[in-house]
Structure 1
């Protein structure tokens, strides 16, 4: 039986901020499960229950107990937690913080 990934990514279809997080998860070869959420902001109740906000992307990392939203914050967390000193990092954050 395959182990359940400890990272869950709450994301939207065709969301560039969500894809940014996916690229970093893939870069570090991290197992994660994707949960696609409602496109309509007011209906993202599952995200709000998990992260306290309806913005996507949001991530839950059960191995560290971290839950957060905003792609720039998530990317910085992934680099700090799973990266190493030789990482070049990601592109600078968008002015809006990277959430929809």
Structure 2
């Protein structure tokens, strides 16, 4: 199990942006696919307080429920680049 977990919706361009950065940095991460319906996204809501994606957690750095793709990409670059 990797330290980083990403909550992802297939076909989401913002999720693709974050996954691309994770891959570019060569980071290991787990992916949790979320349902299309926001009403069914209880797991990501419990982690982040909202139902939008992408969301990441990073246990190594006590990051829980970070959202907004630009913020996530900036965090990954600052922390792992």
Q: 1:78 aligns with which of 70, 76, 79?
A: 76
Max radius of gyration: which structure?
1
Counterpart of 1:63 in 2: which secondary structure?
helix
Kindly indicate whether structure 1 or structure 2 has the higher relative contact order, using CA contacts under 8 Å at least 6 residues apart. 2
Return the structure number with greater strand share: 2
Residue matched to 1:69: 67
User: Aligned Cα RMSD in Å?
Assistant: 0.7
Is there any run of 5+ residues in structure 1 with no aligned partner, and where? Answer: 84-100
Shift of 1:53: 1.2
Which 4+ stretches in 1 moved above 6 angstroms?
Answer: none
- Structure 1 Cα separation of the partners of residues 29 and 53 of structure 2: 16
Residue matched to 1:44: 41
Is there any run of 5+ residues in structure 2 with no aligned partner, and where? Answer: none
- Structure 2 Cα separation of the partners of residues 14 and 27 of structure 1: 19
Q: How many residues align?
A: 80
